[in-house]
Amino acid sequence: MRKTLRTTTRIMVLLLAEGGLLLVVGCASVRTPAHLPHSCSRVIAELSPEIERLRPPSSDEVLRKLEKDGNIHLSLSDCLKIALQQNYDIRLTREALTQADTKITQARSAMLPFLGAEASYTRLDEELSFAMGPQLLTFMDRDQYKAGLVIRQPIFTGGRLNAARKASQYSRDAQAQENRALEEEVVSQVTRAYRTAQLAEAFQGVAVEAVDLLETHEHDVTILVEKGANPEIDRLRTQTELANARKELNGANNAVDLAYSALKNLLSIPLTESVKLTETLERSSRPEADLSSLTELALSQRPELSAMDSKMAAAEQALKAARGEYLPTIALEGRYEYMEGDFRDLEGGDHWTVGIGAQLPLWNWGNTMAKVREASSQLAQARIQKDKTADRIRLEVRQAFLNLAKAEKNIDAAESALKTAKEAYRQARARYRAGEGTNTDVLDVRTALSRAEANHTQALFDYNVALAALHRAVGVMVIEPPDIKEKESAE
């Protein structure tokens, strides 16, 4: 009978232990944080058709929509949208933001009650018993079983837990601003890569035009040489110039391929895809604000400074948490246990206890003091870093503003030089065909024309790059990133 009772009791103990564990898991799954991390949001979006329809299309879908005649036609706006959605660095920082969200949940959960299950089994070498007259009483069986539930709630921790929760929230805000800064940097890089591809195409066009002009001029020279009006040396020199121009065209073709490859790499597009640009280099309008206004605007809206403010706030909370370790820790604890084989189960195996405990550090060899000094130093470091970042932003705005002004003047000079070079080439070729000029004059003027066209193209490139750099320095996004404000939208 006693053996059967023990077997039944063991089964109940195991079921109780398993039930307690299931209860802990259930509580962990039912308790929902105020903000779901992005991984949970992603799962919900996959399960909800309504939310699924609002999700942005994938990169492949976007590329297929832009495909025409076997080529992907990309404007600058298309490139920026694709980059903000598919760029590897941006995707990595979004995962970092997800991890920052989970830190908030972890810090908040430390302030809430803990519920757990406990189970143990102990076997002694022999039963502990003692005799009371003729009767032998068992004090402790060889096999001892114990299982139960425990709940623990911190009451006072010196403000450490609340400070840790606030620090995690500020850290999350800093990460969000750093993500924004990276997005602006990627926009700047993609813009420069797009302009570089435009520049390479423009240089390719200059090289093609140079070859076409020399081929036409070679035809004219050949006719005059065959008529005996000009010496053979004119044709030989023209053919030499034409060979050199074709060589430059080969280099220009290679530069176009490399520029396209760099752009596709930033957009996370396979290098085997055929891409065509839908825009050419043009003179865009520049901001009318002066340097002082642009600098003030940059200092008010650059995400790097906002990130430093959040980091400073997080460091202040970390300092409060470190100082809180000087104060006592008080917690409330309750237990419900079932035991068998112990003298305490003589009147039934169920027991419960409720208690409150306090712990005060008296001496830990300066560990708490070192933590306070470390947190204080980190706060001072964050303040210095903010001042350094502000100075760097002022310098970036000034450099971009001056470079844009210089590029604007270079465009005016290059346009005037190009107009003069075209007219000079037209006149030199007309004089040569009329027998009044020399072949050398035509070739020299043609070289000057190619140089003027290249300088004009370079001036347009420098202007657009300087304009993009000014937007980056001021903190202006050319295009808003798609679907990257999950946290803000949820709030």
> Is residue 2 packed enough to be buried (19+ CB in 10 Å), middle (13-18) or exposed (0-12)?
exposed
Whole-model pTM over 0.75: no
Enclosing domain of residue 272:
56-112+161-326+366-490
Q: Is residue 166 helix, strand or coil?
A: helix
Examine the pLDDT at 54 and tell me if it is beyond 50.
Answer: no
> What are the tens digits of pLDDT across the range 393-431?
999 999 999 999 999 999 999 999 999 999 998 998 888
Q: With beta carbons less than 8 A apart as the criterion, state whether 312 and 382 touch.
A: yes
Structure tokens belonging to residue 61: 């879908």
Residue 206 domain-assigned?
A: yes
Q: Is residue 224 part of a domain?
A: yes
- For the chain, the domain total comes to 1
pLDDT for 169 equals 95
Inside any domain, residue 185: yes
Q: What is the mean predicted confidence (pLDDT) over 192-212?
A: 91
CATH number at residue 86: 1.20.1600.10
Residue 140 lies in a domain: no
The CA angle 159-165-168, to the nearest 5 degrees, is: 135
pLDDT the model gives residue 440: 82
d(CA 32, CA 490): 14
Residue 358 lies in a domain: no
From the list 217, 210, 218, 206, the residue with the least C-alpha distance to 244 is 210
pLDDT digits (tens, 9 = 90+) for 308-340: 999 999 999 999 999 999 999 999 999 998 887
In the chain, the percentage of residues whose pLDDT exceeds 90 is 50
Res 205 pLDDT > 80: yes
Rounded CA gap, 365 and 246, in Å? 79
Least confident of 58-67, 144-153, 293-302: 58-67
Asked, for residue 339, whether it belongs to a domain, the answer is: no
